[in-house]
Amino acid sequence: MMRQLYSMLCGMLALTLLATGCIPRADQISSERRVANYVEQGGKTGIVGKVFIKTGGAPLAGAYVNIYPDAISNLLGPSMFISLPTGSDGSYSLDVPAGTYYVVARKRLSGKAMGPLSPGDYYSEHQRVVTTVVPGKLAVVDMPLVVIKAPMFFKKEVVESQTGTGVRGKLVDVSGNPVPGGFATAYVDPEMRRLPDFASTLSDENGDFILYLPGAGTYYLGARIHAWDMPRPGEPYGRLGGDNPQPVIVEKGTFVEGLTIEMLPFDGEYKPGKSRRPI
């Protein structure tokens, strides 16, 4: 009975927040954007486009475009290809072989091509932009960027390749609907008010995620939408087991299957001074 009452209250809160625009609906969170626009230019094969500021559409010079062959690393860290800095009109061009790629754009105020992102830097939001390059054509991928307003975090360790050990599960909201564009976080102990030890791939349109782990162990799972700062009030947030984190025992060479993490509107207190200590 208490659980039903809690779910009903959370549902009412979620509807209020959705109505006021405080949190996005699940169908507004885009986990993947596929681009299939092409031009021909002397038989060249690759990717071209423009990088611009999402609000207002002004071209963004000095940005770098990274090309990844897969999304296992959550599009962080070294990429397979990286462009020269974008020109004054925000344009970039990359010669890459035919194949399917993930495209990410970033501009650091430091001017560096690589390194952690900081407040004031620009990035192409938390979604996957995918394009397929075909021989003799240039895929046209324009990238809107937004400003980071708080220090980004993601995970302490990066599992850069698919391993045979991990967790497969689903992110859902209070009504049981899938949450795309989020990610599961993993910790090696139940103290989850810190930087995650590992993170999953972004959840797809069905809310499904894959969390690759380097080895066997006991893990505690959470779920987030944004990869920075503490959760804000109303932001979808979840922990497997709720207030009593549930341990998940993972054996080497196997996947724990079918876990569901429910994401509720965060009702904790936001502390600006703790922004570098994400919860």
**How much of the chain, in percent, has pLDDT values that exceed 70?**
76
One domain for residues 122 and 159: no
Q: Please give the pLDDT value at position 135.
A: 97
CB-based contacts of 212, cutoff 8 Å, min separation 6: 72, 159, 161, 162, 163, 165, 166, 198, 200, 201
**CATH number of 167's domain:** 2.60.40.1120
Q: Specify if 71 maps to a domain.
A: yes
Where among 147, 169, 187 does a domain terminate?
147
Question: Taking 50 as the threshold, does the pLDDT of residue 11 lie above it?
Answer: no
Q: Please give the pLDDT value at position 267.
A: 82
CA atoms within 13 A on the CB side of 51: 29
Question: Taking 70 as the threshold, does the pLDDT of residue 67 lie above it?
Answer: yes
One domain for residues 9 and 22: yes
Number of domains in the chain: 2
Q: Please give the pLDDT value at position 229.
A: 62
Q: Please give the pLDDT value at position 182.
A: 82
One domain for residues 44 and 181: no
Question: Taking 70 as the threshold, does the pLDDT of residue 273 lie above it?
Answer: no
One domain for residues 62 and 160: no
- Dihedral of the alpha carbons of 187, 193, 194, 195, in degrees to the nearest 10: 60
pLDDT-derived band of residue 272, with 50, 70 and 90 as boundaries?
Answer: low
Q: Specify if 279 maps to a domain.
A: no
pLDDT, tens only, 192-220: 877 788 888 778 888 998 998 989 999 99
Which of 23-32, 208-217, 248-257 shows the lowest per-residue confidence on average (mean pLDDT)? 23-32
Q: Please give the pLDDT value at position 29.
A: 39
One domain for residues 209 and 180: yes
One domain for residues 172 and 190: yes
One domain for residues 159 and 263: yes
Q: Please give the pLDDT value at position 227.
A: 59
Q: Specify if 269 maps to a domain.
A: yes
The mean pLDDT value for 218-245 works out to: 84
One domain for residues 122 and 221: no
One domain for residues 186 and 260: yes
Q: Specify if 232 maps to a domain.
A: yes
One domain for residues 143 and 122: yes
Q: Specify if 185 maps to a domain.
A: yes
Question: Taking 50 as the threshold, does the pLDDT of residue 14 lie above it?
Answer: no
The mean pLDDT of the chain is 80
Q: Please give the pLDDT value at position 149.
A: 66
Where among 126, 147, 168 does a domain terminate?
147
* Token reading at 262: 């429910």
Question: Taking 90 as the threshold, does the pLDDT of residue 43 lie above it?
Answer: yes
pLDDT, tens only, 121-161: 898 875 679 999 999 999 999 999 988 765 454 544 545 55
Q: Please give the pLDDT value at position 8.
A: 39
pLDDT, tens only, 71-120: 766 677 778 999 999 999 999 999 999 999 999 999 998 888 887 777 78
One domain for residues 81 and 160: no
Q: Please give the pLDDT value at position 257.
A: 96
Structural domain including 167 reads: 2-28+154-274
pLDDT, tens only, 162-198: 788 999 999 999 999 998 878 898 999 998 877 788 8
